[in-house]
Structures are given as C-alpha cells and as structure tokens.
Structure 1
Amino acid sequence: MAESAVRSSPVGEGDRSSVSTTGSFHGSTDSIPLDDSDLAHQGISLLLNNKFKEAKELFETHKNGSPLMHMGSSFVAFMEGLMSFEDERLSVAMKALQETEKRCETNNGFVSSFKRKLSRKKNTTQSQLNLEDKLQRDVIIADTILYQSILTFLNQDIPSYVKGGWLLRKAYKIYDRVHKTVVQLQQKLSDSKIPGRADLTKSAATDGNENELTEDLLSQLLAAVSFGYGTLQLSISLVPPKILKIIEFLGFEGDREAGLSALHYTSNSRDMRAPLAMLGVLWYHTILRPFFALDGTNAAAGVPDAEAVLDAKQKDFNNSSLFLFFRGRVQRMKRETEASLMTYNTALALAADQRELQLMCLYEIGWCHLLRLQWHESLKCFLRLSEESKWSKCYYEYLLAICAGALGDTAGARERFKVVPSLVKRKNNQIEAFVARRSEKLGKTVPSAECMQLLTVELLFLWNAFPTCTEEELRGLLKVCESQTERGVLHLKCLIEGALYRELQDEELATTCLEEAIARHQGMKDDLHVAAFAMFELATIYLKSPQTLPKSKTLLIKIRDNLKDYDFENRLSVRVNNAIKVVEKTLKAQN
C-alpha cells in the first residue's frame, strides 16, 4: 500500500545522489543526464501524496533511463494491482515486475548496452558495472521477485502458496547475499579508519573501478536491502503453516521481529523506500496482526505502534488519503466506529482522482455500517463496489444479497443468490468458494430476513471484526442471534453467540454456546467451518487459565491435524499455529 500528502520529499532532506544508478538502458530516448535517485524520490512523493497519475507518468517517461526508474514504474503497477485486487491490473503488475527483473539482470546482455553518464563516478567502463550499481540492481531484482510472490499469494490456493514460497526463498537468498556484502564493506571501511590499518584496507571500500564506496553510500544500500528483507519476513505471516514447513525445509524461516526491525531501519533512512517501509509497518500493525489474530484475543495490540508512526508523520501526510485510511484502521481497532467513519469519508473525498483508494475506503465504510447493522448504508457502498470494482463480482453480489435480505427484500435476495455461482472466476479462492456454496443453497428457497441478518454477522465473525466493536454494537449483534428460530442455522447461531459472549468477557456463557455449536454440527455435511472455528474459540478461552492450558492445546492440535477441507482453512490455520506456539511457550515457562 502507499501513502499520500504533498511535499517535495517524503524521506527527508540531504544529499540523495549518493545511491544512484545514473545512466540509461538500451533504447532510452533520454538525452539529458539524469539523477535517477532524485527522480525516484519525486515519483514516490507523488505516489504517496494523492497523485498516482502524475507518479505513473513520471516513472513511465524515464523508466528506460535507469533500473531505479524502471522499478518505480513497476512499483506503481504493483500498487494499483494490490489496491484494486482486479485480475487485469494484477496481471499487468506481474508482467511489469517480470520485465524489470529481466532488465536488471547483469548477465542478459543489457550490461553492454548500459550507457553510463559520468556525472559523479571517477572511473567506470561500459562493459563492467561498478559494485554500487550491481548491488543496487541485485536489490531491485529481489524486490521484483518479492512483489511477484505477494501477488501470487493473493490467489489463496495451495499451488499459489507453494509457488509464492519458492519466490520468497529466491528473493531471500539475494537479500541475504547483498546484506552480507554491504556489512563486510562497512566493516572494512571502519577498519580503514583505524590508524596503522589504512594501507591494509586500501581497496576494501572501493568498487571494481576503484571508485570509493562511502559510509553514507553503504548505509543507503543497507536501507535498500532492509526494506525488502523486512517486507519479506512479514509476508511469511501470510503463509499457512503447512506451506511454511516446506519453505523452512528449504532453508528459510520467517522472523517477524527481525522484519519489523529492518523496516524501521529503512523508514528512518534517506533511501527512496523509506516512506514505503513506514507503510509496511502500518500494514502489519493495522491489518495483518488483527486479521490473523497474531496477538490472540488482543486485536488492539498493534495500536500503540501504529499510532506512534502515524503521529510522527502527521504533519507530512496530513491530507494523504492512504495515511487517513490507516488512521481509520487504528480508530476501528480502538472501537471508535464513528470516528473511523468520519476519517474514511474524508479519505474518500481526498481520493477523488484515485479510483483504487476510493474503492478501499468505500469497502471500509460499508463494513463500519455493517458493524452497526445499518444494512441500507452498507448496501449503498457494496452496490457501488459491485458496479465499479472488477475484483470478485460474486463476493459483492453475495454482500448485496444478504444486505437486501436483512432489510426484508428476501425475494430480491434469492434472485441475487441465484446469480452468485455464475460470477465465480477462481474456484480455488476461499472467499469465492464459500459464497458460491452458500448461494447455491440459499437460492433454492426464499430465506427469512432473520436468517440474512445472521449471515451478515457471520461475515463480521469470519473477518475477525468482533474485537473492533463497541459493547453497544456487540449487544446489537447478540439480538440478531437471539431472533433466530430456524433449525437449519442454530449451529451457526451458537457459534456466533459464543464468540460474542467471549468478546463481552462472559466466558462461562461463551463456553456453553460454543460447546452447543459443536454438538449441533455433528453429523452435518455442510458448514464444516463451524466446528473448526468453535473449537478455536474454545481454545482461546482455555488458553487464559493455567489450569486449562492442556485442554487448549488438545483442541488446537485437533483442529490442525484432524479437521480438513473446511471454509477458510488457510486463514484459521495461521491463527491456530500462532496459538499453539503461545501455549507451548507458556507450558514450557510453567515447567
């Protein structure tokens, strides 16, 4: 994701030309020597300040002038794809990243056509890249591979997770190699400053053409590689445990703390990736941590860290739509629904020329109204999304169906349910598979308004939104559960009631409801996710007490090892895996 607010440089002042691959690719029409580092900073500034179109034009104009600008052009495409989730834009982004990767490889013939402009370097040859350029290109290649892996993960199916894992490992090996090289050069440069050792380290801090590699240059190279390394480490959090085992077997293991540390290092640097690293930190604390319940039942655990970043950059990104988007996320995590609605609406207005950001804000606005059971307002947001977004038409149609049904238009809801299966594009996608299966069943009869209201609450549960609700909102959701009388949904009703009571700290009643949900689901051939999620909710309750920790571990292992092929299995498996680690760590500490 990205940020926005208009200023000349989002990463600070100072000499920004020290890390720059000034030059042109073969076929470039640029005739004026370019400082591509300054140009890249300008492009990132535009990108993060509500000026996507201008940033795109700048990078596109100069992308044949240097690897850095080519990467900037691909990054804009990546951002457009990531924010829209639309297949066409994702495909364009993937091709752009692959092209940049190819253009930056030093063994594909482009080296000989690379025309250096001698604005800064003392010595260089046309046939040999200096070490600075080679390291910079290696980082860019790793960046493109990393972004390709993220786009691949978006498919959320097993083959994509495996392919994405391989790409992650490939990127990691490059980052690791560059990181070791830069650290060694820094050490040698440090040694050269020690009296009596200068002669011994005379060539230690130079490139292949005897150009000096300064401390500032090496620090910026380290910041560049740290951004990719940090993003990679956090991306591992998206990988289901069974796929993660494969990656770890291949010699790669994720470390979230190391990832965050690397991103913080880059965010405080003068590298062009500094503001992007800041966004990576915000993304982790406001989206990844609560969605995957990485902190157990404490969904607001990331609030202090996110607020620290937001407050520090407030004056620089005051009018940034994307900055406000993250501010709205923090407000939701703090259970400030009204404040988050106001923030999202402000961001929506400021993003007038950014369709992708508008759709992101609309989705969040619709979700906030759903928390309050304001189905009519949600319906308006989801209707616009269904008309303007190309991502998962079947998902938006399902949202429209349950909101319409919740408002009493059950006949209209039934007609929409009939359409949903025909809109499925990716059968292996968890969301599309879920809404298609549900819609096939609901389209055969006229569902009740009470049942549709329950299904809107179910989505809130599955998206782990209960921890962002106020007590008043939670009580309102409970009333929806209490209105259910149809035998066919009582297992689902009990699951949601149990989760709501747990959020309201009534763990005794929560346990009763969850156990009833499991009992009612026995023998059923559909809604397999109900039993898995009910067991997980019970496990989180048992996890709080030392006396019931063994029961928690037993349930978690049962989910992991015995329950298969249920809806949102990959999503829940990440939460289960994290919970098991917490239980084992706690039990070990007790012993």
Structure 2
Amino acid sequence: MWTSGNIVLLEVLRRLLVIFEKDCFEDAYDRIPAASQMDLHTAIQETQCALNLVLNDKFSEALDLLKPWWKDSMYHALGYSSILVMQATMTFEHRDIQAAMSTIKEALQTCQRFRKKNSVVGSLSSLISKQSKLQEEEMHAEICYAECLLQKATLTFVQDENMISFIKGGIKIRTSYQIYKDCQNLLNVNRDLAGQSDAFRQFEGGVKLGIGSFNLMLSLLPQRVLRLLEFIGFSGNRGFGLSQLREGASSHSLRSILCALTLLFYNTFFLGGGGCFVVRGPTQRLHLWCRQVEGLKQRLAGKSIPTEKFAVRKSRRYKAAVPVLLVVPALEMMYVWNGFSIVGKRADSTEALLVTIETAEEQLRSDPSPSEFHPDDSCLVQMLKGLCLKHLGRLLQAELCFTQVLSSETRIRYDHYLIPFTLYELGLLYKLQGDFAKAATCIENAKTNYKDYSMESRLHFRIHAALSSLRGSPVGTP
C-alpha cells in the first residue's frame, strides 16, 4: 500500500526528473538578462537559475550569473559562496578551501548588512515576543546568514582537524540552529502572510529546509550523543524533521529541490525506503579499472571515504597474478547503498535479482577449483539471497540463508563486514515475524561485538534507527 510519504517521494522524483532536463536549465538561464538593479524577487529568481545550472554540472555559468551581484545581494552571496564551498568539499585542495573560506566570510558580511540592525544572536526571539515586524529583506537575511554560517562551520572542520577548529565549528552550528528556531517562531506568528507574499513563501521554504534538516540529522545520532546535545540546546525529532522537509519539497520555492535532495539522501542512504527503482542490464559482472581504483581514492579531512576504501579492497582481487572476479559486484554495491530495500517493494524486480543471485550460487557450488575468496563469496551470495527471499515473503527460507552465513563466520577471510550486516538483517527479519526480543538481541550483537569492518559507521546508523523503532514495540524491547 502506498503511504503519503511514498507519494510525496514519487512526486519529488518526478520533479527531479523535470529539473534535470537540459533544456530546462538552459532556457531558465537564457530568460533572465543581466540585471541593472537588484531587488529581493530578482535575486531569488537569479539564484534559482544558478542552482539549476549547478545541478546540470554548469558550475562556471552559475558563477558567471552570480558574480556581478554577489557582494551586494544576500542571495547572490549565498549562491556564489555555496558553489565555492561545494567545490572545496569535493576537491579538498588547499587553494579551493582558502578561496571558499575567504568568499564565505564576505558572504556573511553581505548578509549581515541586510539583517535588522538591532538583531544579534539570541535577540530575535525577544523581538518576536514584542510583536516587532521584520521587513521581508530582514527575514530573508536571517535565513541566508544561517545557511552561510553552516557553510563556514563545514569549512572550519575541513580546514583543520584540531580541537579548536571543532569548537569553533560547533559554535557556528549552534548559532545557525538558534537562528533557524527563531525564524520558525517568526513564521508561526506571521501565518497570515503565507498566502499573500511570494517572498514570505520563499522564507518559509528556507525555514523548512533548515529546521527539517537539523531535526532529521540530529535524530540519527546515537542516543548518548543526542542527550549531550540536548543539554546544550539541540533537539532532534525525526518525524517533525521529515514532515518539514516534505512540506518544503512540495512548495514552489528556491529551496524545494534542496529539501527533495535531503529526503532522497535520507531514504536511500539511511533507510532505502520510498519509491521504486527498476534494475536493468547485466548485473553479474562489474568491470573495474583496477590499475586505477586505488590511485583515485581521496582523503577528506585527513581520512579516507568509507565507500572508496571498500571499493579499493574489492578491486585488489583483480590485481593478483591470477585475477579472481567478484561474484555479484553490482548487487553488493546496491546493498551497501540500501538498494534492496527499494527494489524489494517490487516483486518482479526482486524475482529478477533472485534469479541472478541463484545463478551465481550455482556457479560457486560447481567451481572445480575454489579460490581463497570462495567462502566470502558464498556468504555474500547467501546474505543477498536471504534479502530477496525476505522481500518476497519467504521468511523461513530467508532465515536459513542468514543463519548459514553466521555459521560460516570462522571461514570468512576478507569480507568480515558480512557477519554484523547479516546479524542486523536477521534482526529485522525477526522483527517482521513479531519476535522483538530476538530482533533486539541480534541487532545489539551486531552493534557491540564487532568492530573495525568495512562500512561500520553506515551500519551503526541503520542499527540506531532499528533499535529506536524496536523501543516502540509491545514486548521484548531493549
């Protein structure tokens, strides 16, 4: 049955497909000539065009559109600095980070000029309590300033990993969070303007993006960390955050696409829920350019990206004197990115995946000269087979597949991540069967008894969500 959340996500996907049409970006760019003067409406319109260009991988054109006004318009400043910050976080080149940091400082100064003159951090709430009215530009200046602060915090973390940088970044994040909360209060006391002003609707979209993202991301943190953050003023309500982002994604504002992308990131990276993706094409072999994979790995803030480390480990099989092919690499990566939870909503797609997996299973079984990777490959195939069977409602067979993997733990030589991930999946299976005590035991086992395996942090996010859900179950909760 389709839920309202699924329907919203499908609408979001539809909008994304429209917005990614090449002609849409080019036409939007061509429609707006260089402005001789700049008001709030034109600034938002031009920044929307720049965002479209960025999403179409036209960074230079977007910068050219924003550059003439970026020191005089808050939205041009926000857009211009956002692109440079995005570039810096993608390249992690020192010169890009320095350029972005310099730009974001100027962007903050530009936004500051539009803020209410007697508005300092923490004073906006008192203004609201006195029923003071902010002008439209002042309202938008608060939102743009909060977004710029978040960007500066990100660059502060990236620039240096020492404790002082983390403290400075944390202070900026808290200040940004407080501004968003104040803006939400302002939104609540000015609801009568919602249907009258496009500028107010744009402001509302900015509030929903900020409040929704903060609540959602904070709710994903481990409970002990969240308790500490709540002590210093943060709070994270997942349901509220998701509702804010869905409302923001459904609006016709500059930030609706950003709300949509945040929802999609959450649903694919953390949960894999909502919508259906059909897998097409061959999935038995994923050809890697293994003399290049390791050299392409980057370090972000001094650390390797987990998915890149995972890819490098898998590619090393191809570098041996006698290369050993990966068994179902496309499906393995699909699982890492929660793809089975998405495809599992379509029985026909799941059946097709099961055929591919069973073919690989038979090939492993009939291999006349098994390699050193054979036990790992067999366990991977059994785990993926169990997932397909679970989504097809064949729960007993799925349980047998998962227990077969766990019984082979001592035989696994390389892919040690398979055991904690399988325990997690078995826990979800028990939950589906209504055995909440067993579910909690399996998931807690995966959480506490396994360390230093591939994609560990990713699994811990999923475990946190699963245990939070189990706490609301009727019996056997942790």
TM-score with structure 1 length normalisation?
0.59
Q: How many residues align?
A: 415
Q: Is the 8 A contact 1:264 1:281 kept in 2?
A: yes
CA distance in 2, matches of 1:515, 1:162: 45
Once the two structures are superposed, the pairs formed by residues 8-407 of structure 1 within 5 Å of their partners are: 33-45=37-49, 47-48=51-52, 50=56, 53-78=60-85, 85-88=90-93, 91=97, 96-105=103-112, 132-147=136-151, 168-184=173-189, 186=190, 216=197, 220-236=202-218, 244=226, 246-266=228-248, 274-277=253-256, 279-293=257-271, 299=272, 301-303=273-275, 333=276, 335-338=277-280, 369=281, 372-373=282-283, 375=285, 379=287, 399-401=288-290
| Coordinate RMSD, CA, aligned | 4.4
- Aligned residue in 2 for 1:446: 322
- Aligned residue in 2 for 1:465: 339
Picking from 527, 542, 545, the partner of 2:433 is 545
1:501 and 2:386 matched: yes
Go from structure 1 to structure 2 and tell me whether the alpha carbon gap of 1:224 and 1:544 turns closer, same or farther (over 3 Å shift).
closer
CA distance in 1, matches of 2:39, 2:263: 35
Structure whose CA Rg is larger? 1
Q: Is the 8 A contact 1:70 1:100 kept in 2?
A: yes
- Aligned residue in 1 for 2:465: 578
Go from structure 1 to structure 2 and tell me whether the alpha carbon gap of 1:101 and 1:65 turns closer, same or farther (over 3 Å shift).
closer
Partner SS for 2:233: coil
Deviates more, 1:89-98 or 1:515-524: 89-98
Go from structure 1 to structure 2 and tell me whether the alpha carbon gap of 1:473 and 1:249 turns closer, same or farther (over 3 Å shift).
same
CA distance in 2, matches of 1:565, 1:579: 21
Q: CA deviation at 1:289?
A: 1.0
CA distance in 1, matches of 2:162, 2:388: 32
Q: CA deviation at 1:36?
A: 3.9
Go from structure 1 to structure 2 and tell me whether the alpha carbon gap of 1:498 and 1:145 turns closer, same or farther (over 3 Å shift).
same
- Aligned residue in 2 for 1:482: 362
CA distance in 1, matches of 2:202, 2:340: 42
Q: Is the 8 A contact 2:111 2:144 kept in 1?
A: yes
CA distance in 2, matches of 1:182, 1:282: 21
| Greater RCO (Cα-Cα under 8 Å, separation 6 or more) | 1
Partner SS for 1:509: helix
Q: Is the 8 A contact 2:406 2:422 kept in 1?
A: yes
CA distance in 1, matches of 2:431, 2:467: 10
User: Which ranges in structure 1 are unaligned for 5 or more consecutive residues?
Assistant: 11-29, 112-128, 191-212, 294-298, 304-332, 339-368, 380-398, 402-415
- Deviations along 1:49-77, whole A, 9 cap, x unmatched? 65654433221111122222211222344
- Deviations along 1:305-346, whole A, 9 cap, x unmatched? xxxxxxxxxxxxxxxxxxxxxxxxxxxx2x4335xxxxxxxx
Q: Is the 8 A contact 2:71 2:110 kept in 1?
A: no
AA in 1 matched with 2:451: K
CA distance in 2, matches of 1:302, 1:275: 24
AA in 2 matched with 1:57: D
CA distance in 2, matches of 1:4, 1:580: 37
- Deviations along 1:533-574, whole A, 9 cap, x unmatched? 11011111111112x221110111122233222211111111
CA distance in 1, matches of 2:210, 2:383: 41
CA distance in 2, matches of 1:107, 1:259: 28
Q: Is the 8 A contact 2:104 2:152 kept in 1?
A: yes
- Aligned residue in 1 for 2:306: 430
Partner SS for 2:402: helix
CA distance in 2, matches of 1:223, 1:460: 32
Deviates more, 1:258-267 or 1:550-559: 258-267
Q: Is the 8 A contact 2:73 2:110 kept in 1?
A: no
- Deviations along 1:512-535, whole A, 9 cap, x unmatched? 232232232238674331211110
Partner SS for 2:383: helix
AA in 2 matched with 1:62: W
AA in 2 matched with 1:585: G
Q: Is the 8 A contact 2:298 2:304 kept in 1?
A: no
CA distance in 2, matches of 1:459, 1:161: 32
Q: CA deviation at 1:78?
A: 4.9
- Deviations along 1:411-432, whole A, 9 cap, x unmatched? xxxxx2xx65455432442123
Go from structure 1 to structure 2 and tell me whether the alpha carbon gap of 1:238 and 1:439 turns closer, same or farther (over 3 Å shift).
farther
- Deviations along 1:98-136, whole A, 9 cap, x unmatched? 44234434699x98xxxxxxxxxxxxxxxxx97554443
Partner SS for 1:34: coil
1:587 and 2:460 matched: no
AA in 2 matched with 1:252: F
AA in 2 matched with 1:555: C
AA in 2 matched with 1:586: S
CA distance in 2, matches of 1:161, 1:440: 35
User: Which ranges in structure 2 are unaligned for 5 or more consecutive residues?
Assistant: 1-14, 29-33, 118-132, 344-348, 365-369
Q: CA deviation at 1:35?
A: 1.4
Go from structure 1 to structure 2 and tell me whether the alpha carbon gap of 1:136 and 1:559 turns closer, same or farther (over 3 Å shift).
same
Q: Is the 8 A contact 2:43 2:76 kept in 1?
A: yes
CA distance in 2, matches of 1:532, 1:39: 50
Go from structure 1 to structure 2 and tell me whether the alpha carbon gap of 1:80 and 1:276 turns closer, same or farther (over 3 Å shift).
farther
CA distance in 2, matches of 1:586, 1:162: 38
TM-score with structure 2 length normalisation?
0.71
Go from structure 1 to structure 2 and tell me whether the alpha carbon gap of 1:9 and 1:173 turns closer, same or farther (over 3 Å shift).
farther
Q: Is the 8 A contact 2:111 2:141 kept in 1?
A: yes
Q: CA deviation at 1:143?
A: 1.1
CA distance in 2, matches of 1:94, 1:289: 31
Q: Is the 8 A contact 1:528 1:566 kept in 2?
A: yes
AA in 2 matched with 1:228: G
Q: Is the 8 A contact 1:492 1:517 kept in 2?
A: no
Q: Is the 8 A contact 1:106 1:134 kept in 2?
A: no
Partner SS for 1:486: coil
Q: Is the 8 A contact 2:430 2:436 kept in 1?
A: yes
Picking from 403, 410, 417, the partner of 1:529 is 417
CA distance in 2, matches of 1:443, 1:241: 42
Go from structure 1 to structure 2 and tell me whether the alpha carbon gap of 1:44 and 1:481 turns closer, same or farther (over 3 Å shift).
same
CA distance in 2, matches of 1:527, 1:511: 20
Deviates more, 1:160-169 or 1:260-269: 160-169
Q: CA deviation at 1:87?
A: 3.2
Picking from 445, 451, 456, the partner of 1:558 is 445
Q: Is the 8 A contact 2:249 2:258 kept in 1?
A: no
Partner SS for 1:585: coil
Q: CA deviation at 1:41?
A: 0.8
